[in-house]
């Protein structure tokens, strides 16, 4: 099957790409910079790489028209004031390109949207989904919260906090509940979503079976690493101070820390587990996913 993969240099994209290739699919890989593609492409004959800028509609003209499936995995965690407009423009340009192709299904990985109030980045994911669903193809929206896997921004911050600090200082937002999912299960769901008519023109939340707090995640990681980490609650509530604390305690940038803090204050809880039943997937529990990562 001929599949277009956007965001192939992103965290999910670079983990999904080898699985699609191993399954024998022909993959059209969209990146902004070929040199940053973390894959030995010489091992595979079924991949073609295109350098494109989704903000530049004309740059999409070089992409083939005979694709069957497309993954849309383009996201920004930038603090740039214009990031929302840029994300929407990318989605519109992509949808207009698809109107000239033989596309059958678009699979989009976005954010869980069940909170009463959304962060700027979550609201942007929602608007991207609203643009993509307007196309003349079957649309499948998968909505995730935290993805647990080596290299993901959220997981690396958890790792940094637990391994670098002998004491875990816990701002109030660490009591927020979430429903993470392991990287392997996320990739499995993405792959199994191809040409599944039970998923057409629907949206699904994806998560493991456990609902925990962010504080729980830190303690589960410490347990997996056989580390004893006492927790001290600190009365830090403002996004600025929380982001600055995260910036000082980890290797993340302040801009990314600020974006993550805005999201961490919002609960990522799945509405249901319908997609797990449809695809017959039994997700790993959180401890298993952390140990694997």
Distance CA 173, CA 100 (A): 46
Q: Alpha carbon of 182 to those of 253, 286, 287: distances in Å?
A: 24, 7, 10
- State the pLDDT at residue 236: 64
Boundary (domain end) residue, out of 144, 166, 194: 144
Distance CA 45, CA 173 (A): 47
- State the pLDDT at residue 238: 60
If residue 70 lies in a helix (H) or strand (E), which one and from where to where? strand 69-72
Q: 206 by DSSP, 3-state: which?
A: strand
Q: How far apart are the first and last CA of the chain?
A: 30
For 76, the domain range is 2-144
In a domain, 56, yes or no: yes
pLDDT in tens, 78-129: 556 688 899 999 999 999 999 999 999 999 999 998 767 777 778 889 999 9
More confident residue, 265 or 290: 290
- In this structure, the answer to whether residues 80 and 161 fall within a common structural domain is no
pLDDT in tens, 132-161: 999 999 999 999 999 999 988 888 888 888
CATH number of domain containing 260: 3.90.25.10
Handedness of CA 5, 261, 241, 157 (dihedral sign): negative
Longest C-alpha distance within the chain, in Å? 58
Percent pLDDT > 90 in the chain is 63
CB-based contact 180:148 (threshold 8 Å): yes
If residue 2 lies in a helix (H) or strand (E), which one and from where to where? strand 2-5
- In this structure, the answer to whether residues 138 and 167 fall within a common structural domain is no
- In this structure, the answer to whether residues 30 and 109 fall within a common structural domain is yes
């Amino acid at each position: 099957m001929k599949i277009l993969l956007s965001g192939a240099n992103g965290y999910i994209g670079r983990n999904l790409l080898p699985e699609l290739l191993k399954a024998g699919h022909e993959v059209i890989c969209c990146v902004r910079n070929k040199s940053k593609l973390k894959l030995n492409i010489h091992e595979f004959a079924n991949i073609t790489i295109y350098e494109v800028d989704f903000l530049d509609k004309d740059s999409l003209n070089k992409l083939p028209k005979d694709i069957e499936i497309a993954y849309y995995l383009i996201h920004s965690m930038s603090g740039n004031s214009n990031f929302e407009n840029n994300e929407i423009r990318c989605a519109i340009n992509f949808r207009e390109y698809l109107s000239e192709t033989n596309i059958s299904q678009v699979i989009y990985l976005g954010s869980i949207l069940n909170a009463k109030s959304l962060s700027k980045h979550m609201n942007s994911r929602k608007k991207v989904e609203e643009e993509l669903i307007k196309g003349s193809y079957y649309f499948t929206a998968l909505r995730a919260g935290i993805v647990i896997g080596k290299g993901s921004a959220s997981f690396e911050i958890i790792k940094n906090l637990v391994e670098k600090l002998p004491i875990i200082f816990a701002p109030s937002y660490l009591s927020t509940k979430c429903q993470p999912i392991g990287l392997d299960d996320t990739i499995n769901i993405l792959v199994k979503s191809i040409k599944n008519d039970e998923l057409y023109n629907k949206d699904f939340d994806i998560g493991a079976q456990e609902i925990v707090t962010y504080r729980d995640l830190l303690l589960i990681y410490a347990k997996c690493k056989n580390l004893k980490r006492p927790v001290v609650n600190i009365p830090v509530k403002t996004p600025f101070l929380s982001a600055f604390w995260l910036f000082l305690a980890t290797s993340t940038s302040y801009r990314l820390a600020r974006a993550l803090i805005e999201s961490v204050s919002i609960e990522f809880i799945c509405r249901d587990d319908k997609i797990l039943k449809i695809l017959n997937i039994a997700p790993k529990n959180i401890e298993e996913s952390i140990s694997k990562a």
